[in-house]
Every structure is written in structure tokens, then in C-alpha cells.
Structure 1
């Protein structure tokens, strides 16, 4: 266990980030495609950035149009700020020096800047909490690498990295409550997770197995299905694809399809556009209007309580915060 530092403890909530306007989409895409942890473009590291700029130039208009359909910006930062505030409300009463900040991977506020700001304010113990329930090298892994770059050269620092919480009892209980509170008797339960390249799985990435465990625990005694969304690029992806699986289930079964975005904790482009708009449109009026989606945790303080509990348990802070 890393040394406990209760005097100046900072929890950094790690996320992907998202553009704050349609004009910010190009910068966001450049940052994503520049990350060789998630995609290795042709030409090696030296050509990664030029190719990233080219891809962003080619895709920015289409992606920006998607953001315009959900309000012109990503709501991800708003929901993360809400959870940061809940976390501080839960943990500050017994530790007035506790701080929580936000570190995004591909858009403001960036992780490196968050670390430096907290360090300059006197914080020396950092606990990194990914807003991804399941570990994947493309999300949590990349965020941890960025955190390590931000910590490099800072003396006197101790750290805790919380790798995942895919089967944490508090998280599972909250997810199950959301399902049970919103699903209807004749609904078919479909968990939809962000897909990853099959190559990641072959190299030992635990993400798919963790998705399956989350689904099994959260479904209780209900029958359920799992699919994967958000495929991008000419590689072999984990399936079945959400669009294909949703269509199959709707054709074969009566009633509605109740979709649970299992690898997300709050609304953003993957829920508000890909499921709420694109999925329904691609399946058409006959099937698309039979899709219902589970609300996300967003600003629910109960999720802030879950984060607080996990931080206390896994960062060795029981009784200290």
C-alpha cells in the first residue's frame, strides 16, 4: 500500500473529455488520434501527429454535426464537476484539506495541468479515480500514462491509482437500482459497451471480461444480452455490434428494448447521439421507436457516495477521510 498522506490529499477524477463547442471538435479529434495508446497510425510515432491532423480535418464536420444535435457541446465536464462536488461534500467534513479536481485526457481541463495546479497548492498525495467502471488500456490505461507524465519530476509525491470498479458492491447496487427503477415488464435487457479492437483482448486487456462480469452482477436474475458500440477504423472489433444486435432482438422479441450503456457513468456523445439518435434512426420507425435507454448517473449524489467509498477503501484512507 502506498504511504498514506491525509494532510494534503487530492483525488483527480479522470475522464476522456469532450469539445465545448462545434469549433473545438477538430482539436479534440487531433488529441485522440495522436494517442498511440489507443490507435497506431501508419508511419510510426513521428507521423502519428500529421496523420491525426489529417483525420481530424476529414472528420470534424461530421462529428461537429453530431454534437450540434445534442446541444452543441459535450456535457461530460458538467457531470464530472457535479460528481467532484459531491465527492468533496462527502469527504471534507472529516478532512478540511481534502481536494478533488478533474483531469481530462483529450480536452480541457487536462490531467497534466490539474496535477501541477494541485501540486502548487501544496498537495502531495494524489489518488487517481477513472470515470470508467471497467479497465481498458485505451481509456484508464492511457489516462494513467498521462498522469504519470504529469507527475514526472515532482518531488515528494505519493500516489494511488484506482484501476477499476466494475464489480464494486456499491456501484453494482446503484446500477441495478437504475435498471429496476426504469425497466418495464416486457422489456428485453441489452447492455451496450464501447467496443475495443480484438487485438487488445488477445494481448490480455481485461475490459471485455469485466464488462461481462458487470452485466452478470447488475442484471440479477434477469435474462440479458451484451453488445458493443462506437466502432471506428478498419480493424477487427469486439462484437456483436449494438446496431445489429438491437435489430435482431427487436425482430425476434415482442415489447421494447431497454439499453443500458454499461461502460459509461454519465451522458455524452455515445449515449445521447449514438444510442438516442443514430441507433433509432438506423433501425427505422418500425424498430427504433421500441428502444428505451436507461438514464445515466450524471449528477446523482449516490454515485458521488460510491466514488467516496471506493476512494476510502482502495486508497487506504479508511477512517481518515
Structure 2
């Protein structure tokens, strides 16, 4: 279907990204590991004001308790954007969830009874907003929200909280959807944005009011990818350097760096999804920061189902290298911004504990979690985005060559069109 207005025409060119070199100096303080504190309520009650601003962290999410595992898996397997299962997905998805729930519950029990991703997401969002209140006072106060695709708090819940807090519903206000997948994929960021667009339409868009952009609705913009941001690169590089110090000097230069990212079905890759290229861009940037001194490979984890997935698989790679006598390897979860089951169970217990048989030479870098360099990077990204006056990157407006999803088209048209409604703080 031809678009009424080409998406690219409604996206203004972003201003050049400001230098942020001073933010990425080595940080001497220890990472914060406590639970996130509850942010005070912020009420949007001034239509047209440039603040407050809702900062919405979007991610896949994970069950906080073992009782939430079934619903999490049911939501996950029912999402054709993430795991395409064909025309009977609505039937197959719940069956797969029921079948796998006991096994996955056991895995979550083994890592403490649930995923820590909600704790870390809430902490990161709250700490970023504290920085933004100081560095971007014209858009302050900034209120943190978390919207998960498959676990609580779901996108629907988040959107209803926005309305309850006075954003939208005739009162206007600005909200930034900040994907916590640094590298864009239609299966992750795209799926989360499709869900956000769906609930926006239901709660204050055309289905709710009869208008596409009713007066006083939330003005949305999207930080849709950031694979080579200098702060993200620096945070990863510092963690790698810290782990390298655990090896004796005579072994250090021969350690193999294995950058591990969540895999994709080859059907998604062959459709033209940008994720593999953007993950590779992050890997290259980190290696440049490290001086290109170490051997490395980009590998892929978390394959689900019988379809062909992007490889080589992380577990197979570790086993094959060990057979060849390469027993010093560092696993780097390059596409994740905090710990969850893929790091704490899949990498730590399965790959290191089983595939590598606990060999002392196979290690994993610490996840970003509360890393202050990383949180400074988030704040820098958010500030630059709000100052740019654009709703999304030009790259987001380009559909995959093989995309036939009308929902994806409508979602992209909507977010690109928001550029006409927002204005930079300096305007």
C-alpha cells in the first residue's frame, strides 16, 4: 500500500550530536547495586509546557517472580514480531508457553526466583532522570516510566499511568519512548513500538476520540537506536578491561573476546532486519576503543524453536574453541543493558558452568546494570534527542525490504508524523 505522505518528508534532519567526551572518563566509584527508589509523582497540568517530560524505558522485560513465568511466555510466544510461528500463532503460542513453563520456572528459581530486569530498568530510568533534571532544566521535571513488552509493567499499564499522571487526555505533555535495545530490530524495538502505538490509538487516538491527533494528546518521540554511542562503548570497554585484569599477564594478550547477542530467526534476517549490522557496529566500536588488541568473534544465543536462526551459537563456539585448546575466553553480552535470564542463567550456568565445565579461563564481564558511565550515556542520549526537535531517526522510517506488515507501516507513519507537533526546548 502506498503511503499518503512519504515518511522521510516528515522527519527533519537531526542536529549534529554534541561531543560527550568528558562523560566517559574512567569512573572510580563502585557500581550501585541497591533497589531503585520510588520517584516522586510528577503531574502534567500545563498544556503546551516543555516540561514535565515522561521518559519511558522500553524493553522485553522478564517475570519478577516464578508465578509470572507462564503469562510472560504466553505473551512472548504469541508475538509474531519476535518469534514468527505462522498463521496458527495464536494457538501455538499459548501451547508452547504451557509446555515450557515448568522448565523456565526452574531456571528463574536458580537465579534467585525472578528476573532483575525490572529492578535495573527502574533504577536506570530514575537515575537518568535525576541527571536530566540538572542538565536539561527546560524539559524538567523528568518522570521515569518502564514499559515491558511481555511482563509487568506492560505497555498498557504504563500508558494508563501516563494518563492518570496528567499526560495526554486533553492536557498535552511530552513523552519520550527510549528503547533499551541499543541495536534496532523489528523483533524487539519494532515490536515494542507497535505495542505502544496500539495502546496510544486505543486510549487517546483514533479509536478513542475519532481523531488521529486529538487536541491535548501526548506528543511522542522515540530514541530508536544507539549502537555506537560513545558512552555505551566506553561502559562496555571498561568492563572488558576490568575482566582482562583477572588473567595473568602472560595469558592476557591471547584471551578471546566473545561478544554474545540474542539471535534472530533467519526469516527475520533475510527480510532485511538491521539488527545484525547494528550489533556488529557496536562490536567494532568497542574493539576500536580497546585498540584492536584482542582476537574476537560475534556470536549469538537464545535460539528458540526448530527454525534456522542466526549463528554461530555462543554455546557451540565455546565448546569448539575449548576442543582446540583455546580456554581463555571472555563472554560479553553486547546487546543487553542489564542482567536477566540470558546472562545469569544461559551464559553463567549453561555456557560457563556446563559447556566450559566451569573452566577458570572462561569468564563473563559484569553487566551494565548500575554502571554510572552507562547511566551518564543514557542521559546524554536523552538530552541530545530532546534538543534535536525530531520524533525519530530517519533510519527508523525505512521499512525492511521484505516487510509486508501494515501495522508496522502505520506505526512508523505515526511516530514520524509527531515531528510536526514537537518543538525543541530552545525554540
TM surpasses 0.5:
yes
Q: Contact (CA 8 Å) 1:15, 1:104: kept in 2 or not?
A: yes
In the TM superposition, residue 316 of structure 1 has moved relative to its aligned partner by 2.6
Matches within 5 A, 1:85-164: 85-93=126-134, 94=137, 95-123=139-167, 124-152=173-201, 153-154=204-205, 155=214, 156-164=217-225
Match status 1:63 vs 2:104: yes
**In structure 1, how many angstroms separate the alpha carbons of the residues matched to 2:67 and 2:383?**
40
In the TM superposition, residue 51 of structure 1 has moved relative to its aligned partner by 2.1
TM-score, normalised to structure 1's length?
0.92
Deviations 1:213-240 (A, max 9, x none): 1111102213211110100011111111
Match status 1:7 vs 2:48: no
Matches within 5 A, 1:257-272: 257-272=329-344
What is the count of residue pairs matched by the alignment? 316
SS of 1:204's equivalent?
coil
**In structure 2, how many angstroms separate the alpha carbons of the residues matched to 1:240 and 1:105?**
27
In the TM superposition, residue 302 of structure 1 has moved relative to its aligned partner by 2.3
Q: Contact (CA 8 Å) 1:8, 1:122: kept in 2 or not?
A: no
Matching residue of 1:316: 387
**In structure 1, how many angstroms separate the alpha carbons of the residues matched to 2:257 and 2:325?**
11
**In structure 1, how many angstroms separate the alpha carbons of the residues matched to 2:378 and 2:324?**
39
In the TM superposition, residue 274 of structure 1 has moved relative to its aligned partner by 0.4
In the TM superposition, residue 317 of structure 1 has moved relative to its aligned partner by 5.9
Label 1:288 to 1:230 Cα distance change in 2 as closer, same or farther (>3 A): farther
Deviations 1:112-155 (A, max 9, x none): 22122123322321111111111111111100111111221343
SS of 2:156's equivalent?
helix
User: Which consecutive residues of structure 1, in runs of 5 or more, have no partner in the other structure?
Assistant: none
SS of 1:192's equivalent?
strand
Matching residue of 1:294: 365
In the TM superposition, residue 272 of structure 1 has moved relative to its aligned partner by 0.4
SS of 2:57's equivalent?
strand
User: Which consecutive residues of structure 2, in runs of 5 or more, have no partner in the other structure?
Assistant: 1-10, 13-47, 168-172, 206-213, 390-423
**In structure 2, how many angstroms separate the alpha carbons of the residues matched to 1:60 and 1:190?**
30
Deviations 1:255-285 (A, max 9, x none): 5210101110110000000010011343253
Matches within 5 A, 1:12-91: 12-42=56-86, 44=87, 47-91=88-132
Match status 1:283 vs 2:324: no
CA RMSD in angstroms comes to 2.1
Structure showing greater Rg: 2
Label 1:187 to 1:9 Cα distance change in 2 as closer, same or farther (>3 A): same
TM-score, normalised to structure 2's length?
0.70
In the TM superposition, residue 253 of structure 1 has moved relative to its aligned partner by 4.4
